Structure formats: structure tokens, C-alpha cells
Homo-oligomer: A and B are copies of this chain.
Amino acid sequence: MEYKQRTVTCGQLRKSDVGNHVVLNGWVHRNRNHGGIHFINLRDRYGITQVVVGESVPPAVAEIAEKLHLEYCIAVEGIVQARPDSMINAEMVTGEIEVEVTNLQILSTCDPIPFMIDDESDAKEDTRLRYRYLDLRSKGMQKRIRLRHDFIRAIREFLSNRDFYEIETPTLIRSTPEGARDFVVPSRLYAGKFYALPQSPQLLKQILMVSGFDKYFQIARCYRDEDARGDRQLEFTQLDLEMSFVNRDDVLSLMEELFNDVFRKVMQIELPQHFRRLSWAEAMNTYGVDKPDLRYDLPLVDVVDIAKDSTFGTFKAVLEAGGVVKALRAPASTEVAFTRKYITALEDAAKVYGAKGLAWMKVGANNTLEGGVSKFFAGQETTLIKRMEASAGDMIVFVGDQWKKTCNSLGAVRTKLARDLGLIDPKVFAFCWIIDFPLFEFNEEKGHWEAAHHMFSMPQTQYLDSLESDPGSAIGDLYDLVLNGYEVASGSIRIHDVELQKRIFRICNIPDEVAEERFGFLLNAFRYGPPPHGGIAPGIDRMLMIMAGQTSIKEVIAFPKNTAAISPMDEAPSYIDQAQLDELHLCIKQPQQKD
């Protein structure tokens, strides 16, 4: 097809271009006909330019102008004109000019569109995903795809400048379940055998360390066949990073410098040079969660001593049973009144995490406490108010239970309070490190210990002798990076010793022969001079979601699946034909009714 190719983009023309003859290619964004004069907002990736089809154009051009509809793709030829002062649009970068059309060509037509192309589409998610090619035309999606490009580019630049190599690892690998389910790929050549898609390049990046590539990274596609819960995708992208001859603080410092640099370049935001570090125990104790949102403070406060001296039987029983009592100050607010109904809502949030109830009292004038369980704390008013740094109008809420349940329940109340009371500044990006994680947690269901993060993390030296006798106390050199209440990266210093690695496997109920079967190639590699090493893996999708102020990673992925793991645009997954099944030596069993 012959057509006039653009000489400028739709975001380019300024007053200094007036008088120039130009060609624009783009889409009809808006189209108004004012008494025979067509005002067309022509859009491309770079912006919007107003083009005007006046009354004096040749009839053939006027005829084409009559045919235009929204989202037609067209070529426009014309002369740049200054807009009359009254028509200048200060909100458009091209708002001082318009293009007086001399010729028009329709490059392609457009069926009636299912939703308007605007800043953001207001269509339902599945409609947006079915017509993703239209949805991606919205200003919001265009901006976010650009942010994604800029973000990843800045990461690559930073790391490449620091002598990191980006090394591509294979995605058809041996199935080595790391916790979640593997996606598998049937082999045509070997009946009954499968490749697996990587849950992460974890083992391969450790093997790259054994190979001597001491600074590795990769923007890596990862795959997990998990049940849809929350905002997950079957495939996602992480910055996978590993280094040799480093300790924990080397990794943490590098990440701080990386995100300082990237946020400066991409978001024009200065982050603190160092991110706050909290031990896992401290984070749990203070914020009730291992991924605290530090855009606001609202710490949980230990009130075991005060509860012990109170007359509140419930708390006293909790303490006798080895539990704890913690309190949280809900600051007086103009947003929310601390009504019975609201307190019940807070209690519901606490109960999700297992609390049996939420005790409360209000702070009155002159160091008094009122309502709720206040009567049981007679005589302790001053102590309690001082401890809680509370003032008149505040409310104090309490949970007494086992330690973890208490922390998590009150942590949930903290989160809800912050949202409801408007304590969150959406412009803040609050990073923090959580360190000193437990290595193991006991899986009640399976009846054995398992790795809290993964099995390749190095125990801290002082726990090496007691791993088997007291797994629950062992702390590892693990670290999470948390941003605004989301875990955005997870990493550790790794084990590089075959015997220690096997001990960890055994504690996680993986006997030596199973370990050799599943992880033999890693253990083999460790027999050939492995260096000490460690790494981290920030989640690209989730970070971008937060940076873009969104609540779903779908908003920062060009072609995501919906929550049912389907792509409404191409309707993947789909059936394949019998010949292909035969070639793959597969037959399909229809799913049986579950018991």
C-alpha cells in the first residue's frame, strides 16, 4: 500500500514549526464537525495533534474527512498553523499549533470500539483483556509500558556498569520443585519425560557462581503453576541476581544503590541512601507482620506487664498460658469515629488472623480511660497512656493470644486503621529490609520442618551446631526487601557446602537419595570448588505496580492472563489436535469428580 509516511510525530510540533509542511500518521482520537470544519485530534504514542480539515479543501479530501470514525488509522498532510490565542490549549504540548490539512488518507478503518480510548479504560477487566490491543492504546497503559521499559533499562544499565553480566539461563530445565508446582513441557523424543519451566533460575544462578561468573543478573521469566489467589500470574518477571565473595551487607548495599539510582532516573525521586533494617522478630513485634508498611508508624506496643497487673481475667489467662498482650493506639481522627460498628470492623480484621477478640478503651481528658475493658485497668491509666503515647480522643486496642497470632492480628488492625484514618501518603516509597529470618518453619499438615524461604540459605554461624536439635530457633542469612507493605525482593547468602546442604535437606524431610535425585547436579557442582555466594531477586511486576500507583500487576504487563489463568484475547489455553497428542505420547484423562 502506498501512503505518505510521517515526517513528524503527533507529540512533536511546536510554535516554531509554524509554516512547515508536515505529514502525520496516527489514530483518530476525537473527531468534531463544526459546521463543515472537521477538528480531528490525531493520536500516536508521542502525543496528540489537532488537525483541521477546513472548508477550502478539495472535495475528495472533504469526502474522506466525512468518512472518518474513531480509531481509524490515517495519514494527514498539511501545514502547521499557529492557533488563535483563544484556542491555545496549555494542557497539550502541541497546544499552540494545529495542522491545516491539505490531504488525507485512510490507512485502515476501525469497527465500532467496545470502550473509549482515554486516560484509563472503564471497561470490565475481561473486556479490557479481550481487546487488549485497544486497551493498550489508553494513555495510562502507554505510560506504564513505558515506565516498565525505563525501569528495566535503568536496572540493566546500573548493573552492567558495575561489571555484572546478564546471562540467559535455559527455561526448559529439569523439574526441581521448589515449593510451588512446576509447569511442565512434554518431550516428543522421550515418551513420558518432561522438561519443566523454571520457578526461578535459583539453581542455575548458583551454578553460574561455581563457574566463576561472580556478578550475574538476568531479567528472568519465571513460572509457577499456582492456584489463582490474589494478584498472581502464571508467568512473571524478576530481576535475578547473584554474587560471589560477598556477605549480606554487600548485597543490601548494592540494592540500595541500585534503587536509589533507578528511582532518581525513572521517577525523579530521591530515596534515602540506606533503607531501614528490621530483624524479622522486630518487624513482627513492632508491626505485626514481616512486610510492614512504613509509610506510617503506628507501632504495636508490648503491654504484658500492665496486663499482668490488671484485673482483666482474659489477658491474665493468656499470659499464664505463655501468650502475650499487645496494644495499638488508634489516633483520634476526623475521618473515622470510633463507634461500636467501627470497633467491630476492626475486630473482624483481627479475627482473620486468629484473634478471638479485640479489647479496646478510649482515652478521655486528663489521663482517663473510658469504655471497653478500661475498668479492668483502674489505677494503671497514667502508665498505660504514657506507654501508648496516647492523647485524649485516641482509642487503644488490645489483642492477647499466642505471640504470632497476637502480632498478625494486631498487624491487620494497624493496616486497616492506617487506610481508614488516611495515614498513608501515596507519594511516599518506604523501603525497608527485613533480616535475620528463621530458617525453618514447622508444617503442621505434613508433620515436618520445611524451609521458611528456600533450602539453599546459609544458617548464621551460631546456629550451625543446633540445626537438627532445634530447627525452630535457627536464624539464617536471609533478607527481604519490603516496599509500602509489599515484599518486593527476597534473597539470602547461600550454602555452598555439600554436607551442610544435605543437612538442610534432611531437616526438611528430604533424605539423601531423594536429594541426589532432585538436586544432584547442584550437589555435584558443589564438589568442584564452589565460591561463597549470595543473591536476591526483586519482583519486577510488583515493584512496577507500586511505582505506578496501581493495585494489580496486570496494569504493568502488556498481555496478562485473567484470574482464571486464561488470556481472553487469544483464548489460551486451548485444545490441541490428536496428532500432536500422539506425537507427545499423551492421552487426556477427563477430570474426575472430587470427593
Which residues of A approach B to under 8 Å, CB–CB?
1-3, 5-6, 25, 27, 43-45, 71-73, 107-111, 113, 131-134, 136-137, 142, 145-146, 148-149, 152-153, 156, 160, 165-176, 181-197, 203-204, 207-208, 210-215, 221, 223, 225, 234-235, 237, 244-247, 250, 458, 461, 496-497, 521, 525-532, 557-561, 564-565, 567, 569-576, 580, 582-591
Question: Closest approach, in angstroms, between the C-beta of A195 and any C-beta of chain B?
Answer: 5
Are B225's CB and A188's CB within 8 A?
A: yes
Q: Which residues of B contact A572 (CB under 8 A)?
A: 172-175, 195-196
Q: Which residues of B contact A72 (CB under 8 A)?
A: 529
Are B213's CB and A45's CB within 8 A?
A: yes
Please pick, from B25, B167, B185, B590, the residue contacting A183 in the complex, using a CB distance under 8 A: B185
Residue of B whose beta carbon sits closest to that of A493: B1
CA distance A134 to B176 in the complex (A): 22
Are B165's CB and A149's CB within 8 A?
A: yes
Q: Which residues of B contact A560 (CB under 8 A)?
A: 170
Q: Jot down 22 A-B pairs with beta carbons below 8 A, ordered by A.
A: A5-B245, A5-B246, A25-B245, A107-B531, A108-B526, A110-B529, A133-B207, A133-B210, A133-B211, A136-B212, A136-B213, A149-B160, A153-B160, A167-B558, A170-B559, A171-B171, A176-B570, A184-B580, A187-B573, A194-B573, A204-B559, A521-B571
Please pick, from B169, B170, B194, the residue contacting A575 in the complex, using a CB distance under 8 A: B194
CA distance A565 to B181 in the complex (A): 23
Please pick, from B214, B528, B567, the residue contacting A174 in the complex, using a CB distance under 8 A: B567
CA distance A138 to B565 in the complex (A): 43
Are B588's CB and A137's CB within 8 A?
A: no
CA distance A111 to B127 in the complex (A): 59
Are B2's CB and A461's CB within 8 A?
A: yes
Q: Which residues of B contact A136 (CB under 8 A)?
A: 208, 211-213
Known: A110-B527, A145-B167, A558-B168. A132 touches B211 (CB 8 A): yes
Q: Which residues of B contact A190 (CB under 8 A)?
A: 573
Known: A136-B213, A149-B160. A530 touches B108 (CB 8 A): yes
CA distance A176 to B570 in the complex (A): 10
Residue of B whose beta carbon sits closest to that of A464: B1
CA distance A204 to B501 in the complex (A): 43
CA distance A71 to B212 in the complex (A): 11
Are B111's CB and A532's CB within 8 A?
A: no
Q: Which residues of B contact A145 (CB under 8 A)?
A: 165, 167, 213
CA distance A142 to B590 in the complex (A): 49
Known: A245-B25, A521-B570. A527 touches B187 (CB 8 A): no
Are B174's CB and A574's CB within 8 A?
A: yes
CA distance A167 to B152 in the complex (A): 10
Q: Which residues of B contact A531 (CB under 8 A)?
A: 25, 73, 107-108
Residue of B whose beta carbon sits closest to that of A177: B580
Residue of B whose beta carbon sits closest to that of A215: B45
Known: A186-B186, A590-B585. A576 touches B175 (CB 8 A): yes
Please pick, from B137, B246, B461, the residue contacting A212 in the complex, using a CB distance under 8 A: B137
CA distance A558 to B209 in the complex (A): 12
Are B6's CB and A184's CB within 8 A?
A: no
9 tightest A-B CB contacts, nearest first: A136-B211, A110-B529, A174-B572, A174-B570, A193-B573, A187-B573, A192-B588, A73-B529, A133-B210
Q: Which residues of B contact A197 (CB under 8 A)?
A: 185
CA distance A1 to B460 in the complex (A): 9
Are B108's CB and A173's CB within 8 A?
A: no
Please pick, from B2, B131, B567, the residue contacting A170 in the complex, using a CB distance under 8 A: B567
CA distance A383 to B569 in the complex (A): 65
CA distance A571 to B187 in the complex (A): 13
Question: Closest approach, in angstroms, between the C-beta of A208 and any C-beta of chain B?
Answer: 7
CA distance A325 to B142 in the complex (A): 58
Q: Which residues of B contact A565 (CB under 8 A)?
A: 187, 189
